[in-house]
A and B are shown apart, each in its own frame.
Chain A
Amino acid sequence: MAGAVWVFAEHQEGKIRKTSLELLGKGRQVAGEVGAPLIAMLLGSGVDALAQELTTYADTVYHWDDPAVALYNSEIYCQIIAELAHKEQPQIFLAGATFLARDLFPRLAGRLKTGIAVDCLNLELEEDGLLVARRPLFGGKALADVVCRQGRPQIALVRPNTFSLPDAQGPAHGTVVRLPVGVDPAHVKIQVLEVSRPPKERLDLTEAEVIVTGGRGMKAAENFRLLEELADVLNATVGATRGVVDSGWRPHGDQVGKSGKTVSPKLYFAVGVSGAIHHVMGMDTSKVVVAINKDVQAPIFQYADYGVVGDLFEVLPLLTKEMKQGTGKG
């Protein structure tokens, strides 16, 4: 029998990440098509509940439960996953294109002597089980269908928000297999000292369903309050252009664009954003885009579904109010 379909189950603050759930949904479909079991990979300490949760999506959950893997460490993770992959020969390995996965999987591909497709926007199977991954090139100006003919597993990291979440959880049907972590610490040259993630009520930009981004048209850091208020109503995450970040109005982590984050929300607001190509490259796979700009010639309107021509200082408070009423939160 051909090898299994693996999905990397990343978790954060006691929850499976949304992007991993998306891949478990897609993985189920892929596994069905190739007639192979779906296996979730879980590394972490004190996350038994997550292992149980994963059995509702996957046939088998491989769980490495050990303080040594409590925090992500590229060397330890790579070593233990590669060892198992050598033994079990999975045919496909999927993960969300997160900071963790983009650190780990290139190395893993090297160790397993196989290819990797990063930031995929779609996955399809050919009849012989060959995975066709659609990737953006040149910041999305072109898309390429790529396949990995030499080497297994076929590794694909998928842009968050690309696939929908799997249907409501069914009954647990899978089994959890606990695996020992056998890493010689002497061979580990990386030590993770600290992970700091200031508590945030909002999803990260990469996973948010709704984003309200402010550009230099916001004029000053304190005016972002107007966007925060809109974000509150829409349960959205606030983004920024590079112009804003370089002015020190918002932190680097908030930047959307080619040299910032690539986002793919259901709904994207660009407020006081001119629409420079570097910015557009980071948000052009958003499903619906609303641009608010006082300049009717602003390039952002070419990349929008709805263009609001007006002064953002007038429009934003009205919009927040209207949304409150419109969404029943008023």
Chain B
Amino acid sequence: MHIAVLVKQVPDSEATVQVKADGSGVEIEDRYTLNFFDSLAVEEALRIKGQGGDVVVTIITLGGQKGVEALRTGLAMGADQAVLLDDPAFAGGDEYATAMVLAAALKGMQVDMILCGKEAFDDSSGVVGPLVAEFLSMPSVTSVVKIQLAPDKGSALIEREIEGGKEVIKVSLPVLLSAQKGLNEARVPPVMGVMKAMRAEIKKLDLAAIGLPATVVGRAGSKEEILRYHRHPQRPAVTMLQGEAADIVRQVVGLLKEEAKVI
């Protein structure tokens, strides 16, 4: 069985992000990490491998040097091999163009299952995974919190989160599943794993290798265009209430009624 995991290196949640004064772009502090949901996806692939049988876990990313870091983290956790999709032509692509490249690369890999994150911390779209599945004509299930593979590995029982509950779905393989919090707890890469990952060979694929025309990748192949960036609107300064509890409670209820007019 071959499981591919889509991973992305994203700015850490604590990294500062500054919108340029003219709104033309953002400046991101150089603190990056493997996308949280992708770490759950890697963990799940390793969990399935751990159940026995002949399972190969390949992690794959589209990205430059930052992408290599995501791959090394996945390898350190225990993935078998890593693929980096890197080419100047891929630059500036939106989710659509990214999925196009990932799907083209996955086409030749004979995968039985693709795992990805529910969404990337940077764009919070959750679009790349289902698009990859669509381009590969395979079913997809998002926000997955449980995966139970049938003994013959031809299908799986999936639980996915929905508002206030869950859905139980039976799906045939190959399938793409996106990992939601609750699926598992990602392991911390063991020191031995980290050492091994540093030396591991990373396979690189460029535009020519995946056989797509330059017109369908990167900025040229994108559907969405960012016109401008804005700062998050600032909340007015906080009104602090201190003192006798009964007093401040009365004050806050008064303010919510008279000033904020929300109750």
Chain A residues within 8 Å of B, Cβ to Cβ: 12, 72, 74-75, 98-100, 102-103, 106-107, 109-111, 113-119, 132, 134-151, 189-198, 200, 204, 206-207, 210, 234, 252-253, 255, 258-260, 262, 266-267, 277-278, 281, 284, 287-291, 296, 301-311, 314-315, 318-319, 322-323, 326-327
Contact = CB atoms under 8 A, between A and B. Distances in A.
Contact of B133 (A107, A118, A287): A107
A253 B229 contact: no
B13 A98 contact: no
Contacts of A197: 162-166
B181 A260 contact: yes
Contact of A75 (B14, B139, B167, B181): B139
Interface in B120-145: 121-127, 129-131, 133-135, 138-143, 145
Given A132-B227, A142-B231, A259 B163 contact: no
A65 B41 CA distance: 37
A25 to B, nearest CB: 20
Given A267-B263, A319-B252, A149 B225 contact: yes
B197 to A, nearest CB: 24
A147 B223 CA distance: 8
Question: Secondary structure at chain B's binding surface: helix, strand, loop or mixed?
Answer: mixed
Contacts of A311: 245
A110 B99 contact: yes
Contacts of A303: 235
A318 B252 CA distance: 11
A192 B169 contact: yes
Interface stretch (B49-57, B58-66, B236-244): B236-244
Nearest to A290: B252
B226 A305 contact: no
A308 B121 contact: no
B13 A143 contact: no
Contacts of B140: 74, 103, 107
A309 B122 contact: no
A139 B125 CA distance: 11
A98 to B, nearest CB: 7
A323 B239 contact: no
Given A197-B162, A323-B253, A296 B242 contact: yes
B241 to A, nearest CB: 5
Given A141-B17, A196-B168, 9 more contacts: A99-B161, A107-B130, A109-B131, A116-B95, A142-B232, A189-B175, A195-B162, A197-B166, A206-B163
Question: Secondary structure at chain A's binding surface: helix, strand, loop or mixed?
Answer: mixed
B26 interface: yes
B256 interface: yes
A310 B143 contact: no
B124 A192 contact: no
A198 B164 contact: yes
A259 B246 CA distance: 36
A139 B13 contact: yes
